[in-house]
Structure 1
Amino acid sequence: MSQIKSLFATRLYHASLNEFGSIDPDELEASCFSIAEDDEAGQEWCETEGYPGYTSYASLTDLPWRFPIFGDIQKALDKHVAAFAKDLEFDLADRALVLEDIWINILPPGGTHSSHIHPHSVISGTTYVAMPEGAAALKLEDPRLPMMMAAPTRIKDCREELRSFVYVKPEVGDVLLWESWLRHEVPMNMAEEDERISVSFNYKWE
């Protein structure tokens, strides 16, 4: 009797941030806009690098220390990442996964964030602060794609686990986690007026 099973799974963690915390989404959104308005170095970096909208990635490296709400977010994320690491069955020995960096993203209508990975990290993720109607989903790429030179395309309604790209549309307050080697992107924000706001982060093993 023939058997077919799936191998080499790519796991995606999807939960409510407040499953392990109590973060006020309105306060978080207001904090993101306030920080962006005051962060002249971040604004300058975005303009120089041609980054659409705003990110604190290259300017503010200590958000949890500067702003209490980000300290609360870190406490919640620590628990989410620990739960994901348990699902992944990582053998961490006497070391731990700790927050390496955390940053704000404010993507205006028409803005995109091209395909990328997060080198030198173990777990990466995003929690979602504002997702207006038309805001882009997160696009995840099958890591085996470069090896599929001669493979035919899949049928349109193939199973999710067999697709080359998977689009995940989170809601405000959700957190998504994935292993940092997983290539991902944010397609164009098709919202008519409002920004897509998120907070992204990396965890390293130390």
Structure 2
Amino acid sequence: MTQITSLFTTRLYRAHLSAFEPAIDAPEMEASCYAIAEDDAAGQDWCAENAYPGYTSYASLTDLPWRFPIFSDLVTVLDAHVAAFAEDLEFDLGGGKLVLEDLWINILPEGGTHSSHIHPHSVISGTTYVAMPDGTSALKLEDPRHPMMMAAPPRRKSAREELQPFIYVAPKVGEVVLWESWLRHEVPMNMAEEDRISVSFNYKWLDA
């Protein structure tokens, strides 16, 4: 009798922010992102010095929930989503908890990309989507086994999703996507004329 099973599952969490309260107003969030980007001279300088397309607050601001109440509300909602994902992952936190480590804005203009990367030292990473114009890039996720595949042949284009080397996730405005921080991901080139706006974040394990 032949038996084939799947091992070492990679989980991906997708939900609407509104699954938990308080409600997050999308237009207010978008306006807040632009207002912060306009006022953040240090962030603008960092983007220019590092040839970063568009704007990110990653290297300049660490207090977004303090600056704008809507970001404080967002953290409350994200805490609930991350807790739900951690439960699905069956983490044994040993009496500790997952807490927000970083939260930053991404404004990616036409032609902008964000190259493949992971988030070291974090447990769960994710993004919630503020503006996703038609034709903008999806989130690209990479099979974490790639470095170990060595001489493996390519997969068929028709291969089942769980066997594909890359998965493209096209979130909608107001959706939150979570993954374990070791999962390599990237944002391919934004082909839309309008900005692609998102808020990304990391959660770390705070031991008891």
Q: TM-score, normalised by structure 1?
A: 0.99
Structure 1 equivalent of residue 45 of structure 2: 44
CA distance in 1, matches of 2:142, 2:9: 13
Aligned to 1:53: 54
Within 2, Cα distance between the matches of 1:102 and 1:149?
36
In the alignment, structure 1 residue 14 sits paired with structure 2 residue 8:
no
2: CA distance between counterparts of 1:55 and 1:134? 21
Q: CA deviation at 1:54?
A: 0.1
Which stretches of structure 1, 4 residues or more, deviate above 3 A after TM superposition? Answer: none
Shift of 1:93: 1.0
Partner of 1:51, secondary structure, is: coil
State yes or no: 1:82 paired with 2:87. no
Gaps of 5+ in 2: none
* Alpha-carbon separation, structure 2, partners of 1:157 and 1:14: 24
Aligned residue number for residue 161 of structure 2: 160
Q: CA deviation at 1:3?
A: 1.2
Alignment of 1:134-173 (within 5 A): 134-173=135-174
| Displacement after TM superposition at 1:149 (Å) | 1.4
Q: 2: distance between equivalents of 1:10 and 1:76? A: 23
**Separation (CA, whole Å) in 1 of partners of 2:144 and 2:103:** 24
The one-character-per-residue Cα deviations of 1:163-193 (angstroms, maximum 9, x if unpaired) are 11000000000000000000000000000x2
SS at match of 1:175: strand
* Alignment pair present for 1:187 and 2:188: yes
Match of 1:204 in 2: 204
Aligned-residue CA RMSD (Å): 0.5
- How far residue 2 of structure 1 moved from its aligned partner, in angstroms, is 1.2
| Separation in 2, partners of 1:140, 1:118 | 13
- The CA distance in 2 between the partners of 1:156 and 1:58, in whole Å, is 39
2:103 corresponds to which residue? Answer: 102
2:85 counterpart SS class:
helix
Question: Matches of 2:136 and 2:40 in 1, distance apart?
Answer: 24
Q: Distance in 2 between matches of 1:200 and 1:157?
A: 31
Q: Which residue of 2 aligns with 1:63?
A: 64
1:119 match:
120
Q: Distance in 1 between the 2:72 and 2:136 partners?
A: 27
Code of the aligned partner of 2:197: I
> In the alignment, residue 12 of structure 1 is paired with which amino acid?
L
Q: How many positions carry a matched residue from both structures?
A: 205
Question: Any idea what SS the aligned residue of 1:150 has?
Answer: coil
Q: Find the aligned partners of 1:98 and 1:65 in 2 and give their Cα distance.
A: 16
What's the counterpart of residue 178 of structure 1?
179
Post-superposition Cα deviations, 1:52-80, rounded to whole Å, max 9, x if no partner, equal: 00000011101011110000000000000
